[in-house]
């Protein structure tokens, strides 16, 4: 496997810098804080880190509204701090991927400040502008993910501009070749500094329908959405025209051509479309993105059948590309609350990590998963997320998964000497790193054991996958590489189960993974609550 790119089968640890570690006492995490904890991250047994946005920004959407994509916001440090971080990570064998937001900017970006002044300046056509209808209403029915119309009136131009997200996040017009060239120049800036790859935010939102056609209505029964609540009007439409346009494919090829000029670069696209699995397959075929991930395993749907059917569907469509999976991130409720049904435990945390890390593909794991953190329940007055503030209480936003990492006992759990930007909930404080590091039965200890064990299992990192038809709540599949076959079985429930395995031949259980283990008795499998079995097949 010496010729296998580093990112294939890699475990990528997502760091949300605002909430990782504060070193300057302002209550917000920073780049020096990441540097200070790199030994901890490397010790987890992961392959890479993905750092959420740390660029200059007014922070209306906490860094996903970028005012200068080629500089570090003073809140997080300096470019010199980033260079130190990059060198320190590489010295520990960690690759570094950074977030890039290509489809839109902050309304404080110099490009938009110029563009909004009138219709005859050099950047007048760098954003998506459109005239009002005769009655003054927006040019079509497109909606913002954050609620309401996706169009904002700009009196200086006497036109509307498009924003698929917040009104302070205007969309760039990728139909303009100058925009595409400028965006690629921004990526080149970070490639020249030595980054190992990019996580590309909302990559299917770069292009819009040039004819500005209305989106069709979606029947009420179909308003299930991906990454947003069903009571959000955004779920009332099929989003056929405001994203995922065919012109994006040529841009992705141009982007890949730039990546290929640098050694060992990886691109990971975040994809949320009407058929995200099909878009993942399309965007990772040929010379486009290296990997793609979607919200399919970031929903409340949790059953063996759902996971099996989702991965099978992607495998059938993705004949060339490489998937990446995630069950938690900075945009969704933490997985132990979302899938735990009130039964969250260290055993469940370790099992869910093992399950997603045993699927074919690479994996993004989110800070705090290794500690078994649940979603923080915050009062309305503590909210910072504009999404949650708008939709409270039906949807509480994303703050509950973004609370600070608990590092040790004491006030603010060692995250900061000051009051943190979000509170540390008491139930997280008792799960801090310092306590778990000395407890062999903790979620953190189990996480480390599994990750280091997985590194020695090439079939789990690189092999093909074949699912077995097992009854609920048992998920079972075989990973195969160069004649080596490894069976992985998971009891996705808090009660013991027993079932027959639809397999012929001898099985040799594998040890050392550190999970609650099942046993084989003849042809029958016994799995305790949240139990797992890995076995080598003859």
158 touches 117 (CB < 8 A): no
CA distance 497 to 373: 26
Active site amino acids = 201, 270
Q: Could you tell me the sign of the dihedral formed by the alpha carbons of 403, 17, 90, 481, in that order?
A: positive
Beta pairing class for 464-467 and 519-521: unpaired
- Tell me whether the CATH fold assigned to 11-105+177-454 matches the one assigned to 463-537: no
User: Is the pLDDT at 15 greater than 70, yes or no?
Assistant: yes
CA distance 347 to 353: 10
- The confidence score (pLDDT) of residue 506 equals 87
CA distance 44 to 49: 11
- The confidence score (pLDDT) of residue 343 equals 86
CA distance 180 to 466: 40
User: Is the pLDDT at 2 greater than 80, yes or no?
Assistant: no
Kindly report, residue by residue over 114-164, the tens digit of the pLDDT.
999 999 999 999 999 999 999 999 999 999 999 999 999 999 999 999 999
**Domain 11-105+177-454 falls under CATH 3.40.50.970:** no
- The confidence score (pLDDT) of residue 301 equals 85
Listed in sequence order, the DSSP H helices in 153-303 are: 177-193, 247-259, 276-283
Secondary structure letter of residue 103 according to DSSP: S
- The confidence score (pLDDT) of residue 221 equals 87
- The confidence score (pLDDT) of residue 226 equals 55
Mean of pLDDT values over 36-58: 98
Report residue 370 as tokens: 């290794």
Secondary structure letter of residue 170 according to DSSP: P
CATH architecture of the region 463-537: Sandwich (2.60)
SS3 label, residue 85: helix
User: Is the pLDDT at 446 greater than 70, yes or no?
Assistant: yes
Q: Predicted confidence band at 175 (pLDDT cuts at 50, 70, 90)?
A: very high
Q: Is the peptide bond before 255 cis (omega within 30 degrees of 0)?
A: no
User: Is the pLDDT at 318 greater than 80, yes or no?
Assistant: yes
Kindly report, residue by residue over 244-300, the tens digit of the pLDDT.
999 999 999 999 999 999 999 999 999 999 999 999 999 999 999 999 999 999 998
SS3 label, residue 55: strand
Secondary structure letter of residue 171 according to DSSP: B
Mean pLDDT across the chain: 96
- Name the residue ranges covered by the structural domains of the chain: 11-105+177-454, 463-537
- The rounded percent of the chain whose pLDDT value lies above 90 is 92
User: Is the pLDDT at 55 greater than 90, yes or no?
Assistant: yes
User: Is the pLDDT at 338 greater than 70, yes or no?
Assistant: yes
Task: Say how far residue 298 (Cα) sits from the centre of its chain.
Answer: 9
Mean of pLDDT values over 404-428: 97
CA distance 313 to 294: 13
5 touches 40 (CB < 8 A): no
Secondary structure letter of residue 382 according to DSSP: G
User: Is the pLDDT at 228 greater than 60, yes or no?
Assistant: no
> Torsion over CA of 425, 428, 433 and 438, rounded to 10 degrees?
130
CA distance 535 to 538: 10
Tell me whether residue 33 is exposed, middle or buried, using C-beta atoms within 10 angstroms of its C-beta: 0 to 12, 13 to 18, 19 or more.
buried
């Amino acid at each position: 496997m010496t010729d296998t790119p580093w990112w294939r089968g890699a475990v990528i640890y997502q760091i949300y810098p605002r909430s990782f570690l504060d070193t300057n006492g302002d209550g917000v995490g920073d780049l020096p804080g990441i540097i200070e904890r790199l030994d901890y991250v490397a010790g987890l047994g992961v392959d890479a880190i993905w750092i959420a946005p740390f660029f200059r920004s007014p922070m209306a959407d906490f860094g996903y509204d970028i005012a200068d994509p080629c500089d570090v916001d003073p809140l997080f440090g300096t470019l010199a701090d980033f260079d130190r971080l990059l060198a320190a990570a590489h010295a520990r064998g960690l690759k570094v991927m950074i977030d890039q937001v290509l489809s839109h900017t902050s309304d404080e970006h110099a490009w938009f400040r110029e563009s909004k002044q009138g219709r005859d300046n050099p950047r007048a056509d760098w954003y998506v502008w459109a005239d009002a209808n005769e009655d003054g209403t927006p040019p079509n029915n497109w909606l913002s993910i954050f609620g309401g119309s996706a169009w904002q009136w700009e009196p200086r131009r006497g036109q509307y501009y498009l924003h698929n997200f917040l009104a302070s996040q205007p969309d760039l017009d990728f139909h303009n070749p100058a925009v595409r060239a400028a965006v690629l120049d921004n990526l080149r800036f970070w490639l020249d500094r030595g980054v190992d790859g990019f996580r590309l935010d909302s990559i299917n939102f770069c292009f819009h329908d040039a004819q500005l056609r209305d989106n069709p209505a979606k029947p009420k029964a179909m308003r299930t959405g991906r990454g947003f609540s069903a009571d959000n009007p955004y779920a009332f439409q099929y989003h056929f025209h405001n994203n995922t346009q065919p012109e994006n494919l040529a841009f992705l090829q141009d982007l890949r051509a730039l990546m290929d000029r640098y050694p060992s670069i990886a691109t990971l696209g975040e994809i949320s479309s009407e058929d995200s699995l099909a878009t993942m397959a399309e965007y990772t075929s040929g010379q486009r993105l290296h990997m793609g991930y979607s919200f399919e395993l970031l929903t409340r749907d949790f059953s063996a059948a759902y996971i099996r059917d989702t991965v099978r569907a992607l495998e059938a469509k993705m004949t060339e590309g490489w998937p990446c999976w995630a069950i938690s991130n900075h945009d969704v409720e933490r997985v132990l609350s979302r899938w735990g049904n009130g039964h969250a435990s260290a055993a469940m945390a370790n099992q869910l990590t093992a399950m997603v890390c045993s699927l074919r593909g690479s994996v993004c794991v989110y800070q705090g998963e290794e500690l078994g953190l649940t979603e923080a329940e915050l009062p309305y007055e503590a909210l910072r997320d504009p999404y949650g503030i708008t939709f409270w209480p039906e949807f509480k936003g994303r703050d509950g998964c973004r609370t600070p990492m608990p590092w040790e006992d004491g006030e603010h759990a060692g995250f900061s000497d000051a009051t943190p930007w979000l509170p540390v909930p008491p139930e997280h404080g008792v799960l801090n790193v310092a306590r778990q590091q000395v407890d062999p039965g903790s979620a953190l200890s189990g996480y480390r054991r599994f990750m280091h064990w997985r590194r020695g299992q090439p079939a789990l990192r690189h092999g093909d996958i074949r699912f077995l038809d097992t009854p609920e709540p048992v998920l079972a599949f075989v990973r195969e590489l160069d004649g080596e076959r490894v069976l992985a079985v998971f009891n996705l429930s808090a009660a013991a189960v027993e079932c027959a395995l639809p397999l012929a031949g001898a099985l040799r259980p594998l040890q050392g993974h550190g999970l609650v283990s099942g046993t084989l008795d003849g042809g029958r499998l016994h799995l305790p609550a949240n139990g797992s079995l890995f076995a080598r097949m003859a």
